[in-house]
Chains A and B, each alone.
Chain A
Amino acid sequence: MKPAIFLGLVALPFTICAQPPQTIDVRKLSAQSKLIDQVVVPVPSEIFAVLDKLGKPNWTAVLHKTPSVAQAPAEQPRIALMLGSVIAEGFIAVEAEDVNEVKQIGKSVLNLTKALGVQKKAQMRAKAITDAAEAKDWAGVRKQLDKALDDVSDQMVELNSEELSQLVSLGGWLRGTEALTAVVEKQYSKDGAELLHQPLLLDYFEKRLANMKPKLKLNPLIIKVQKGVLEIRPLMGLPEGSAISEKSVKEIGAISAALVKAINSKSEN
């Protein structure tokens, strides 16, 4: 940071922008503005921040309590998907304010990152998660879980494992989607269901899965996940303004639940 510039920013009044165009032709954007083909996947806390404002769902009912600390399976793609799913579970455990589960998830994150060779920062992060959970600093736990995702992603990129990093994101997104549908289904409202309107993210994951290295693409679990994402796409990618029906919420929930179960199962698919 540059303190001098920062002080200047505070001292000077902001200039309101000259009036920008009220409308743009989005169909011509790629030609005129060179559309950036990179998608930033929302961190789980971005979605949980909305859920906080929707009321007080019964998160304990949504939480998948883990009987023991997660042990890493043999295949790297499965570990990556599982890690994403476990981190997402951590967010649900925070919502349920379940200290023991959060601590267990911290240990699971450590095991899985170790198996992926990206445990460098995970040890420190797992301790921070545990400390914050013991202090019931739930906002702190969320922050540490977000950072755990960032750490893993950074280290995977450093190790040229960008595809595994995308699988971590996808695993987290699938478990988050499953949890979201469970909450929305419990007390259906158009506003709640609208949170599932994520065509951009589905397109992104679909594209990433389609462009994976042949070795990964032939992995049975990846094939299953890819099929599931394609099934979810029409349900979540409705045109802007269309409501996602209660029936669609149920279908999305069932597909994502089956995928999360497959990701976390010990047997090979």
Chain B
Amino acid sequence: MKRRIPLLLALLCLALGASPARATIDDALSFALEAADPYVKEGFTVREDYWGGDLAAKQTKAIVHQLFKGNEYWFWMGTDVKNAKISVHIYDSEGKLAEVEAWQKPHFAAARIQPKKTGSYYLIVEIEKSPSERTSWSLAYGFR
């Protein structure tokens, strides 16, 4: 699901004890934004829109997104579940792996692309493993 909630509002919800489901997705977003932070200093503009939800281990979600040749993009994924392993990868419209690099760390995953063509791309997010039955995740992106 695509969401648009300012971070401050998300943090306020957490502070006021919002519902656990809502809070975990917002928590996942704050991890995704933490992953983004170093790249902002490199000139990336982070969009306020993001995607999020929850998945079981080994489950994937696909997101179709418009990218423009000439820009460079980072996609940052976050989860609040400790010891979960998550990943994000980018494929072109024909299903070919299109990212330049990708990395994973506890709570985070990210992928970078310099699109060779303007058009639709597939972002595949996955919960590779997790101690929880459902793992909340968020995906944010930035461009420069």
CB distance from B135 to the nearest CB of A (A): 15
A142 to chain B, nearest CB (A): 9
- Name the distance in Å between A95's Cβ and chain B's nearest Cβ: 15
- Taking a contact as CB atoms under 8 Å apart, the answer to whether B2 and A40 are in contact is yes
Count of A-B residue pairs with CB < 8 Å: 155
**A residues 216-269 in Cβ contact with B at 8 Å:** 240-241
Are A15 and B103 within 8 A (Cβ)?
yes
Beyond A24-B91, A49-B71, A240-B94, whether A194 also contacts B62 by CB under 8 A is no
Complex alpha-carbon distance, A198 and B64, angstroms: 12
Residues of chain A contacted by B89 (CB below 8 angstroms): 17, 20
Q: Give the shortest distance, in Å, between A121 (CB) and chain B (any CB).
A: 10
Chain B residues, CB < 8 A from A240: 92-94, 117, 119-120
State whether the Cβ of A75 lies closer than 8 Å to any Cβ in chain B.
no
For residue B134, CB closer than 8 A to chain A, the reply is no
Closest to B66 in A: A200
C-alpha spacing A14/B60, complex, angstroms: 22
Decide yes or no whether B38 CB sits under 8 A from chain A. yes
Bound CA span A43–B66, Å: 11
Once the chains bind, are B117 and A6 in contact (CB under 8 Å)?
no
Distance, CA A241 to CA B94, complexed state (A) = 10
- Given A23-B95, A23-B97, A26-B94, answer yes or no on A42-B66 (Cβ-Cβ < 8 Å): yes
Q: Which chain A residues numbered 152 to 198 have a C-beta less than 8 Å away from chain B?
A: 153-154, 157, 191, 194-198
Contacts of B74 in A (CB 8 A): none
B69–A191 touching, CB < 8 Å: yes
Cα of A21 to Cα of B95 in the assembled complex, Å:
10
Given A32-B60, A150-B48: A17 touches B2 (CB 8 Å cut-off): no
CA distance A45 to B46 in the complex (A): 11
Cα of A26 to Cα of B69 in the assembled complex, Å: 21
Q: Which residues of B contact A24 (CB under 8 A)?
A: 91, 95, 122, 124
A241 proximity list for chain B (CB < 8 A): 117
Known contacts A23-B95, A35-B62, A49 near B143 by CB under 8 Å: yes
Complexed CA–CA distance, A105 and B34 (Å):
34
Partner of B95, one of A25, A34, A35, A199: A25
Tell me whether A20 and B70 are in contact in the complex, defined as CB-CB below 8 angstroms, given that A34-B61, A194-B117, A240-B93 are known contacts.
Answer: no
Cβ of B83 < 8 Å from any Cβ of A?
A: no
Determine if B1 and A36 form an interchain contact, defined as CB atoms under 8 angstroms apart: yes
**Is A1 positioned at the interface, with any CB of B under 8 Å from its CB?**
yes
B residues less than 8 Å from A43 (CB atoms): 47
A75 to B66, CA, bound (A): 31
- What are 5 A-B contacts defined by CB distance under 8 Å? A23-B96, A38-B51, A39-B2, A49-B144, A198-B119
Nearest 3 A/B pairs, CB to CB? A38-B2, A50-B70, A14-B103
Given contacts A2-B30, A195-B69, 12 further A-B contacts (CB under 8 A): A9-B35, A12-B105, A15-B103, A15-B105, A17-B87, A25-B95, A26-B91, A33-B124, A42-B66, A143-B45, A197-B117, A198-B66
